[in-house]
Structure 1
């Protein structure tokens, strides 16, 4: 008796399928019974071909190409033109092909964050912060304050915070009157608590995602250091971009998800449909629940969840409130589409409006980051990446054999 296919293998097979579907989506179906030749399988690109898809100004083109192909191989995804161009478009958008991109105004940004925490303790807090910044790591000539002033990249900042944490743990006087400040600043042992840089590398992938990808036993230092390399940044960024299945009709929505969160585009469409059915105004941001800074769901009901409960009462009383709440917990999974709640919304929307419910729409999210100048949105990000994707596709068509 043949053993059932492991769930992980099924998931990887389905993800390979969406890339094949993406290539074939723009083709007219042909094949057996049509009298026309069958559609050939999508081409698989090699190092030389991928290198030619990069913008002409990029240095180390073949090295970038090798890293992209290696990252796709790890995810068991075929190196098709859409897959390769998707990754290249994000790299170009996020860093311009810089493994450890510089962040303008980084020292000022971090000082403001530190001073905000110190000011909570008043004059004593500010004195304690100054004392900590005057310290230096053994063997280092520059103080932490001087190193902060000279910091230019995410890696500079990350290493500075690690050294400051070590300094506090090993050197900071335990009897100092304002030790409470140092404890609040560095005592948790989590760089993320104060570090304003939460994404890193050439694809600006979430550090939290990279750690989760490696599992519970991951070494945070090793993962962060890997993100600052060309190979590591591409590896984690490619996984974040492509390591989930979604029936998006075009890459634009996956690019939006890269910015706003997995399945944000799918969920934004559902929010818009629930809003129309119930008359409750919702911002289609792609989140059906409320989340804390670590990405964990809060106990408080979101407006989207409240609207779904109204939808249940009005259109789908066969659904229990408990069922709706349980289904919403799956909003970051592919299986959410198989839930009674998701299906009910789609079914009722089609019946009440006479329209086919959209699978996805661009989420409405305003981006807030110290790295950005001016107000940006997820829609802006997705369209900017998509424009680069289209140019990459055009380069491929120009070099493909006629």
Structure 2
């Protein structure tokens, strides 16, 4: 079982809002990756009491060197950037955490700092065609406009046809957005890239993270571009994966959270318990509220129907639900009452973590994949990595 984390602590005059180390104090959380059109309620960040005193750096180097796959290109460079991220984020130098990061990197990029994407040019042309159709523009006219030279001297069309990686695609759209007036197209060329780097971390998450915890590197240009560097992609990916506190018995639930959003496995378990009380099959997606257009989620609707049984007012239910994206939700009366009543109804304790049931949708995905599939694949890589540590532990 993974070790629980201590409660956050505060000091009298903190320098700025910060995020926690994984196991040792201080502890805090920030919002998970979000889409650009979704509003997530603000999360208050506790302040640190003292800086973490890390383990011996030489021992950490030696351990990470043993855990990394032997045949990856620039092995020392990967080791140094991973270790630098752990140090900057104050995450303990332990095999389980190193291996968690290693497993995600293998799954998301196969140790490519700028991973290639099959048929990326076709994906981009398809997106451009959708926008052209919306404005009733013939693609011939659009392609003629994109024959104009870009910032690197090549035409935009030539650059699109040559696309191989998301970093190239990001640079292309950054130039297209900056050069929109010269291109002369009547529609906005918004950058469609939402994730990047060797861990495919969300750009939105990186922007939230840097406001809450100091970024250890100096950089030129935008933070978005920094995510596409190896060091930046690893730093923000490791932060998203490990720099928040949950009491999961197995690492696979953290992998599911990485895919579906922080605390999604806990929230999906809450939905599973609620479905028992409501005698209604519910989607276990880990999203308890809807933040667009003041809509009421199915989860919220069922809870309000059960208000009398829960012995809670509608206002109290809504107040607790607003904590769904934080560690604090598991300590609310709502969370405890739902599991308490579900136990009374079933006669057994229910798991407080369930893998979210979400189908993955992306222009890059060409087959049916789910969060459960993702978590299982990463967990297999994690266990392989753990088998490389000096004192091999048989995992469940």
Q: TM-score range by the shorter chain?
A: 0.7 to 0.9
Q: Which moved more, 1:158-167 or 1:377-386?
A: 158-167
Cα gap change, 1:66 to 1:220, in 2 (>3 Å): closer
Residue correspondence of structure 1 range 28-39 to structure 2 within 5 A: none
Shift of 1:224: 2.2
Q: Deviations over 1:48-100 (max 9, x none)?
A: 33122112220211221111111111121111011101111100110011111
Cα gap change, 1:96 to 1:110, in 2 (>3 Å): same
Residue of structure 2 in register with 1:184 after alignment? 187
Residue correspondence of structure 1 range 247-286 to structure 2 within 5 A: 247-286=247-286
What SS does structure 2 have at the residue aligned with 1:102?
coil
Residue of structure 1 in register with 2:320 after alignment? 327
Residue of structure 1 in register with 2:196 after alignment? 200
Tell me the C-alpha RMSD between the 2 structures.
2.8
Residue of structure 2 in register with 1:5 after alignment? 11
Cα gap change, 1:139 to 1:333, in 2 (>3 Å): closer
CA distance in 1, matches of 2:258, 2:357: 14
Contact 2:317/2:334, CA 8 A, preserved across alignment: yes
Q: Deviations over 1:261-283 (max 9, x none)?
A: 11000000000010011112101
CA distance in 2, matches of 1:210, 1:9: 15
Alignment TM-score, normalising by the size of structure 1 = 0.80
Bigger relative CO (Cα 8 Å, ≥ 6 apart): 2
Instruction: List alignment gaps of at least 5 residues for structure 2.
Output: 1-8, 28-54
Greater Rg, structure 1 or structure 2? 1
Instruction: List alignment gaps of at least 5 residues for structure 1.
Output: 20-41, 174-181, 292-296
Contact 1:43/1:81, CA 8 A, preserved across alignment: no
Paired residues, number: 351
CA distance in 2, matches of 1:220, 1:331: 36
Alignment TM-score, normalising by the size of structure 2 = 0.81
Q: Which moved more, 1:323-332 or 1:246-255?
A: 323-332
Contact 1:103/1:152, CA 8 A, preserved across alignment: yes
- Which structure is higher in helix share? 1
Q: 2:365 is matched with which residue: 372, 378, 387?
A: 372
Contact 2:22/2:92, CA 8 A, preserved across alignment: no
Q: Is 2:224 the counterpart of 1:224? A: yes
The structure 1 segments of at least 4 consecutive aligned residues displaced by more than 4 Å after TM superposition are 6-11, 42-45, 216-221
What SS does structure 2 have at the residue aligned with 1:46?
helix
Q: Deviations over 1:321-359 (max 9, x none)?
A: 111112111111001112221111122112222211211
Residue of structure 2 in register with 1:88 after alignment? 102
CA distance in 1, matches of 2:304, 2:220: 40
